[in-house]
Amino acid sequence: MGTLAMKIIVAAVDFSNATPGVLLNVRKLAKAFGSQLHLIHILEPQVPYTAYGFTPDEFPAVPFYDDEIRIRATRRLDELKGELAADVPDVVASLLLGSVAEGMVRKAVVPTLIVPAPRKE
CA distance 116 to 119: 8
CATH class entry, domain 8-107: alpha beta
Of the chain, the end-to-end C-alpha distance in Å amounts to 39
pLDDT at position 117, please?
63
pLDDT in tens, 33-92: 999 999 988 887 666 666 777 777 777 777 777 788 889 999 999 999 999 999 998 998
Burial (0-12, 13-18, 19+ Cβ within 10 Å), 93: buried
Locate the domains of the chain by residue range. Answer: 8-107
